[in-house]
Structure 1
């Protein structure tokens, strides 16, 4: 059953699309390239930054190991490898539920909230005292980070057509390479804080990078936009133009399909079977 908030937004989208039909002859002034650049400048930097911190936080355990984490926590045998592996158990399981929630919750609320959650987990990882504490922290880190990759991919499709979304997703996910390029240098610098506050250098890697994630997450509450039909940086004509184009990509005959974005459990099952 569709919620009242969803129905209100659906009605708003249909109104904007009707406006487009009414104004279609007067929208020749819209420059597609200029509008796409406008969207890119407003959306892509923040999305790329979010994914950069995600990859930075999931991979910094290797730098912490170099700074003495393994010895301080008395890890032996395959314990370090298990600490790496359990992350992906919850990461895999929670990807799909996260995107289902994103269908119900505004992106500007859900995506930053995920970031606050994993930033908090990362910060607390800096105070674990044994193997089991590290294991539990990694499990929760996987659960909280799970939604960022599929969430960003889905969010981009709310704004761009399919042939445009592929390039934007590639740009966004290239942040993983950027994170890998300087994460070691950053960890080396933070490791020099060894002994500050009675904490080892590897603990400060988790604490500082975790707190930085939370700060960026709080910023993204104010800089992340929800949908094209509610974006304040777009004009009325630009909103209608974007929504009309997104609707047409689901149609075989060139007609708008207003219900193309409706959620059905059948789609979830189809994806699970694929």
Structure 2
């Protein structure tokens, strides 16, 4: 078969046609069909056969292009997410690391429980202020340059935290670290990924491979903390200082690789052939979210995005997800410790819940993409997670004899909590219509997660054997999120009933 050639970018058809055929199509485009016209059934069947053949050709070229994009982009983004996750989780691990010998972070810096909560929640400032400017910087500069800068800042910020001598310095360094980390988190990376991946090409599965790296990185951090505990006292440094130094090194190294090898926008991708370059751009133009790197952001478009009421339901859904998610990030080691294990054993037992979340997230995303059931998978996950938290909170026997029961419930709760993240974001981004919506709404969707930072105040030390307040809060919030999902499904179903001819349907 002859090589497939794309017409110029201004052409309206993707099929390879001669000039004569193109002129004929231009003349035919001017024909107006009314109710009195007779449809030629044979011609219609011939056109359908031609369209089917063209679809097969495009699918073949699309699969080849998709493989190139996957091999170039996904490993880089996964590496970024794992390194950022390891850096973020290190603070939670440092709280109980070597506590049995009096060398944990809280004990060395003589911090109170209230001061610890303040340091844990200081990142809400970064979540509120930096996602939107960071996305605009990512669009203004090239993605490799901006993401490499943020990765370098994350690594350096974490290593600087090892020099903390008191509560104030730790608070400042933690704020600095979160400012860099938020840009390399979901707002920036997911926005960049939407420029390459169409929702019709298994975006949820590919997004899950990236986002699920967050719990996977947290699991790695627990394993690293378990080993780093053995370095306590070497060269006069406590174990938590070694933890910050060791886990801050990979992001610095990764920054160089990101700058050199991460591709820019599809229209600027010099590593693609001319045909692949054209197909990559056309795939994005045919999506409901038609956002390309060179598209300009307008003030009118930004105002339209801010006034869109349905997006605020998505933001509320993010709030209901962020509350249990933040609790799993920060408090899995603490919860395990409260169930009867301390120190390095608690670090190790915090790994299975997060590793299970990675596997379940990828599996659910594959199902969601296969059946285009992103919202339904999100709904089911929210209900299961909320129910599991409530069941765990209802249990009255939280002693050592019942540890395995409650540990298993913790594993299920964390799994169901992280599972819908990729499907939820795919559903959200798939219903964004232009560059203004994509560039502004994705980081704006992250800002409500600052509410989730308040989760640190519902895990009360006096409830260490059960944390019933935290468990009931997580369960109730997740069930509210399930109600939001169902309401959004109804809204999109209703909007689809009133579509004009040629309008792209909303994803239900």
Question: Per the shorter chain, which TM-score range?
Answer: 0.7 to 0.9
Higher deviation after alignment, 215-224 or 159-168: 159-168
Please list the CA deviations of residues 132-174 of structure 1 after superposition, one character each: whole Å capped at 9, or x if unmatched: 1111111112211111221111111111223333332222100
Helix, strand or coil at the partner of 2:16: helix
| Alignment-derived partner of residue 189 in structure 2 | 152
Displacement of 1:96 after TM fit? Answer: 0.9
Contact in 2 for aligned 1:156/1:168 (Cα 8 Å): no
Helix, strand or coil at the partner of 1:31: helix
Q: Superposition RMSD on alpha carbons, in Å?
A: 2.7
The alignment's TM-score, normalised by the length of structure 1, stands at 0.84
**Of 274, 277, 300, the match for 1:236:** 274
Displacement of 1:74 after TM fit? Answer: 0.4
| Alignment-derived partner of residue 209 in structure 2 | 171
Structure-2 change in CA distance of 1:71 and 1:266 (3 Å): farther
Aligned length: 255
Contact in 1 for aligned 2:265/2:293 (Cα 8 Å): no
Q: Which has the larger radius of gyration?
A: 2
Check if 1:40 corresponds to 2:77: no
| Separation in structure 2 between the aligned mates of residue 199 and residue 171 of structure 1, nearest angstrom | 36
Displacement of 1:268 after TM fit? Answer: 3.7
| Alignment-derived partner of residue 194 in structure 1 | 232
Structure-2 change in CA distance of 1:54 and 1:42 (3 Å): same
Check if 1:264 corresponds to 2:298: yes
| Separation in structure 1 between the aligned mates of residue 62 and residue 106 of structure 2, nearest angstrom | 54
Contact in 1 for aligned 2:151/2:181 (Cα 8 Å): yes
Contact in 2 for aligned 1:248/1:257 (Cα 8 Å): no
Check if 1:59 corresponds to 2:89: yes
Check if 1:102 corresponds to 2:132: no
The alignment's TM-score, normalised by the length of structure 2, stands at 0.47
Please list the CA deviations of residues 235-268 of structure 1 after superposition, one character each: whole Å capped at 9, or x if unmatched: 11000011112112259xxxx9999932123444
Structure-2 change in CA distance of 1:258 and 1:127 (3 Å): closer
Q: Which structure ranks higher in relative contact order (CA pairs < 8 Å, sequence separation ≥ 6)? A: 1
Contact in 2 for aligned 1:250/1:260 (Cα 8 Å): no
| Separation in structure 1 between the aligned mates of residue 250 and residue 76 of structure 2, nearest angstrom | 14
| Separation in structure 1 between the aligned mates of residue 293 and residue 145 of structure 2, nearest angstrom | 24
Check if 1:117 corresponds to 2:147: no
Check if 1:17 corresponds to 2:48: no
| Separation in structure 1 between the aligned mates of residue 111 and residue 172 of structure 2, nearest angstrom | 15
Displacement of 1:184 after TM fit? Answer: 1.1
Please list the CA deviations of residues 160-217 of structure 1 after superposition, one character each: whole Å capped at 9, or x if unmatched: 2233333322221000121122211111212222223321111010111112211112
| Separation in structure 1 between the aligned mates of residue 241 and residue 68 of structure 2, nearest angstrom | 41
Structure-2 change in CA distance of 1:272 and 1:189 (3 Å): farther
Structure-2 change in CA distance of 1:63 and 1:226 (3 Å): same
Higher deviation after alignment, 156-165 or 70-79: 156-165
Helix, strand or coil at the partner of 2:140: coil
Higher deviation after alignment, 176-185 or 100-109: 176-185
Higher deviation after alignment, 82-91 or 257-266: 257-266
| Separation in structure 1 between the aligned mates of residue 153 and residue 125 of structure 2, nearest angstrom | 18
Contact in 1 for aligned 2:144/2:264 (Cα 8 Å): yes
Displacement of 1:58 after TM fit? Answer: 0.9
Contact in 2 for aligned 1:16/1:229 (Cα 8 Å): no
| Alignment-derived partner of residue 73 in structure 1 | 109
| Separation in structure 2 between the aligned mates of residue 75 and residue 132 of structure 1, nearest angstrom | 10
| Separation in structure 1 between the aligned mates of residue 299 and residue 144 of structure 2, nearest angstrom | 24
**Of 119, 137, 144, the match for 1:83:** 119
Contact in 2 for aligned 1:92/1:146 (Cα 8 Å): no
| Separation in structure 2 between the aligned mates of residue 212 and residue 175 of structure 1, nearest angstrom | 15
| Separation in structure 1 between the aligned mates of residue 66 and residue 83 of structure 2, nearest angstrom | 25
Displacement of 1:24 after TM fit? Answer: 4.3
**Of 160, 179, 184, the match for 1:143:** 179
| Alignment-derived partner of residue 182 in structure 1 | 220
Check if 1:161 corresponds to 2:161: no
